[in-house]
Amino acid sequence: MTKSIAQKQQGPVGKTEDPFLWLEDRTGKEALDWVHRQNEATTGELQGDPSYQAYFQTALDLMTAEDNIAVGSALNGHVYNFWQDKTNVLGLWRRTTVASYKTEKPDWETIIDFDSLSAKEGVKWVFSGASRLYPDFSRCLLSLSPDGGDASEMREFDIETKSFVEGGFLAPASKSGFNWLDKDTVIVSAAFEEDEKTQSGYPRVVKLWQRGTRLEDATPIFEAQKQDLAAGGSLEFDGDKRHLFLTRTLDFFASHSFLRLPSGENRRIPLPDDITDTMLFRDQLVFGVRSPWTAPDGTLCRPDGLYSLDFARWIETNALGPVETVLEPADRVSIAGVARTQDRLFINLMDNVRGKVVACDRSGSGWSLEPVALPENGNVGISHAERFGSSVSFSFTDFLTPSSIIWSDDNAATLTTVKSQPARFDASSLVSEQFEARSKDGTEIPYFVVRRRDQNGPVPTLLYGYGGFEVPLLPGYAGVRGRLWLEKGNAYVQANIRGGGEFGPNWHQAALKSNRQNAFDDFIAVAQDLVKRGIATPATLGIQGGSNGGLLTGVSLTQHPELFGAVIIDVPLLDMLRYTELPPGASWMAEYGDPAKPEEAEWLAAYSPYQHVEADAAYPPVLLTTSTADDRVHPGHARKMAGRLQAVGHTKTLFFEETEGGHGGRGDRRPQAAQAAMKYVFLQRALNGTA
């Protein structure tokens, strides 16, 4: 980037400085006309490839296969599951008994057929979840997205009659949240009117809504500040005790939690702003911390450890008592999550990016821990834990092992594998390995490589990364990737760069805000290490990332175009000097910084890909994708980047925008299969030198 451009764009880009600002108009006619022209050119090139149709059919067949695992969670004697296949395009919300679920062919009872509902109402409804009413769980507050985005409509639904409740709770599409307080009262985290929203567009006010009254007359009980990320409320159960928690989320990594007392007081729980992994269990409030904290009793709480305090005592006395250690921190071991059944607490750990689970019991003498006897050296997760019962299930997978579900009805005392996905590709000739690359500052960065065991020279290689928001990238089986990439002799690489959650808060914080370049340097180090090991050459190395990972691949393109033969940038952030102007971008300032502040704008400007596009750079072929319905990362980022690349002469830039599906591509599997097929066609052409 020339000095003059850098100086011009230290602050938010104005209309006179940004010739593609008009592409930020999500549904404007001029912008959508441009999108349609781009889509026509991209589909003409990629879907016109002789291999596309077979790729598409393979992807669709695998995504909608009847023998895919029906992942479910148990509640009150039933296992609930959301299911999509070729016939049920928008999906079924269904249930079966626990006993039936364990059989090879469960007897499913359909609760809602979303294809039928959509045909009846003329809206392509996408299921966004349901809050069910304790204790029989037959009533629920059903969330329905009209386009696959985050904004959803809420309707009260009766599972037993399989019908919407006439005159029941009903709210228009928004980013509001809904939870039951009791059968006649709903906790509403409201984001309907502008004064109810934070600057990020999320709920700012929590209200109690009584049955039979208007939503606009609901009683406010809690508020966050306009500059906060969000406010929320939920009912938490601990045995026969119920607690109404209210949360003021300051940003992605800091919050204040309150307990609403019978008196109507909202009493703040006196813990650090950066607590994480909170869980109520047998009168204990279990928590972790993102930075070291010394409790009032002198206990040092450290990141990647787990601690507890006597919550019942705090309610009674308003004073924190002794803090106990549940789990001591360990090197390269981080907490992936916590869950509980009625009588047992489970901690999901990552040990050098491999999963394990520890079960915790609580007695008068304190905490006792024991490992759950699950498979090793793969990705182990907690699929469900029944809060009001004793069932718990776990998932196991790795890059070459199809997913399985391991079930227990007795708090993990006995375990049975009840579901195993059939193999989707021939892995007999493949090997999964873990290597390390040395980053620019000397930090060792682990990464996984999946390739042919007998590989003896560079092959087309896809390197995938994310590196943000404490999100870890873990080993996982992917049938589409196996069939369309690995079976063809290609290699797949997954980088565990800083910014992610692979090694706990410190790993994330090492790439936060002004340290963001560390994540980019880590990714580049992995790319260079792949070349050094002879796995790939720059010409045969492609990269892919989505959302924050799209920022990663966008930066990699502009900083080191010489290292790559193809770049895929999915649903990305790319204009980091205007990202806070594109809702809900302001919610990520704790991760990236605030471009309205000169010091922070300076570090954002140093890497923001949109501002660093150069006419004379030798960029490899680029494919950018986004969605008109994406209300999490604005499609303007990808549109503008494509527009700028093409305008300065980079003719091998392709752009594709889906018109529905939101940020995660929810809804109809056919567009998802089409995108997957186009991306693999793009990679094969670019990395084999035929693009």
Residue range 426-469, pLDDT digits in tens: 999 999 999 999 999 999 999 999 999 999 999 999 999 999 99
| DSSP codes, 347-393 | EEEEESS-EEEEEEEEETTEEEEEE----SSSEEEEEEE-TTSS-EE
What is the CATH topology of the domain spanning 21-60+424-688? Answer: Rossmann fold (3.40.50)
How confident is the model over 488-501, as a mean pLDDT? 97
Whole-number Å distance between alpha carbons of 183 and 158: 12
Counting residues of the chain whose pLDDT is more than 70, the rounded percentage is: 96
pLDDT band of 363, cuts 50, 70, 90: confident
Q: How many CB atoms sit inside 10 A of residue 512's CB?
A: 21
Residue with tokens 């195993």: 420
689 pLDDT higher than 90: no
Whole-number Å distance between alpha carbons of 653 and 192: 39
Taking only the tens place, the pLDDT of each residue in 55-68 is 999 999 999 999 99
According to the model, what pLDDT value does residue 5 have?
31
According to the model, what pLDDT value does residue 528 have?
98
According to the model, what pLDDT value does residue 662 have?
63
Task: Write down the domain spans for the chain.
Answer: 21-60+424-688, 70-171, 331-423
Tokens, residue 559: 């900083």
C-alpha distances in angstroms, 549 versus 366, 528, 574? Answer: 42, 18, 10
Q: Which of 547, 556, 608, 627 is catalytic?
A: 547
User: Partners of 188 in the beta sheet?
Assistant: 178, 207
Residue 515, phi-psi category: left (phi > 0), alpha (psi -120 to 50), beta (remainder):
alpha
Contact between 313 and 296 under an 8 Å Cβ cutoff? The reply is: no
User: Does residue 663 have an active-site annotation?
Assistant: yes
181 pLDDT higher than 90: yes
Q: Which backbone phi and psi does 412 adopt, to 5 degrees?
A: 75, 15
Q: Which backbone phi and psi does 490 adopt, to 5 degrees?
A: -90, 170
Angle subtended by helix axes 636-647 and 548-559, to nearest 10: 20
According to the model, what pLDDT value does residue 8 have?
36
Whole-number Å distance between alpha carbons of 523 and 538: 14
Pairing of the two strands 333-340 and 300-301:
unpaired
Taking only the tens place, the pLDDT of each residue in 570-589 is 999 999 999 999 989 999 99
Contact between 582 and 24 under an 8 Å Cβ cutoff? The reply is: yes
Angle subtended by helix axes 517-532 and 598-607, to nearest 10: 20
| SS3 per residue for 618-666 | CCCCEEEEEECCCCCCCCHHHHHHHHHHHHCCCCCEEEEEECCCCCCCC
364 pLDDT higher than 90: no
Whole-number Å distance between alpha carbons of 141 and 127: 12
According to the model, what pLDDT value does residue 492 have?
98
C-alpha distances in angstroms, 396 versus 2, 401, 418, 652? Answer: 50, 8, 12, 40
According to the model, what pLDDT value does residue 17 have?
82
112 pLDDT higher than 70: yes
**CB contact set of 631 (below 8 Å; sequence gap of 6+):** 149, 150, 151, 175, 583, 584, 662, 663
16 pLDDT higher than 80: no
According to the model, what pLDDT value does residue 14 have?
37
Tokens, residue 376: 């090793």
Q: Which residue has the higher pLDDT, 663 or 226?
A: 226
DSSP state of 192: S
Taking only the tens place, the pLDDT of each residue in 274-287 is 999 999 999 999 99
According to the model, what pLDDT value does residue 7 have?
33
What is the chain's Cα-based Rg? 25
According to the model, what pLDDT value does residue 668 have?
84
- The mean of the pLDDT values for the chain is 94
133 pLDDT higher than 60: yes
How confident is the model over 309-338, as a mean pLDDT? 95
3 pLDDT higher than 90: no
Angle subtended by helix axes 548-559 and 517-532, to nearest 10: 60
Q: How many CB atoms sit inside 10 A of residue 365's CB?
A: 6
175 pLDDT higher than 80: yes
| SS3 per residue for 239-254 | CCEEEEEEEEEEECCE
211 pLDDT higher than 80: yes
**CB contact set of 562 (below 8 Å; sequence gap of 6+):** 538, 618
According to the model, what pLDDT value does residue 15 have?
35
DSSP state of 12: P
Q: Which of 78, 637, 650, 663 is catalytic?
A: 663
Taking only the tens place, the pLDDT of each residue in 301-312 is 999 999 999 999
Whole-number Å distance between alpha carbons of 432 and 635: 35
How confident is the model over 631-659, as a mean pLDDT? 96
Tokens, residue 581: 């102007």
Whole-number Å distance between alpha carbons of 584 and 226: 13
Contact between 101 and 72 under an 8 Å Cβ cutoff? The reply is: yes
According to the model, what pLDDT value does residue 13 have?
38
How confident is the model over 256-268, as a mean pLDDT? 97
Bond preceding residue 371 cis, omega within 30 of 0: no
Straight-line distance from the first to the last Cα atom of the chain, in angstroms, rounded to the nearest whole number: 27
Q: Which of 147, 150, 234, 222 is nearest to 187 (CA)?
A: 234
Whole-number Å distance between alpha carbons of 156 and 132: 10
260 pLDDT higher than 50: yes
11 pLDDT higher than 60: no
Contact between 288 and 304 under an 8 Å Cβ cutoff? The reply is: yes
Whole-number Å distance between alpha carbons of 297 and 357: 29
Contact between 402 and 420 under an 8 Å Cβ cutoff? The reply is: yes
Element (H, E) at 236: strand 230-238
Counting residues of the chain whose pLDDT is more than 90, the rounded percentage is: 93
pLDDT band of 691, cuts 50, 70, 90: low
Q: Which backbone phi and psi does 207 adopt, to 5 degrees?
A: -130, 160
Q: How many CB atoms sit inside 10 A of residue 26's CB?
A: 17
**SS3 helix, strand, coil % of the chain, rounded to 5?**
25, 35, 40
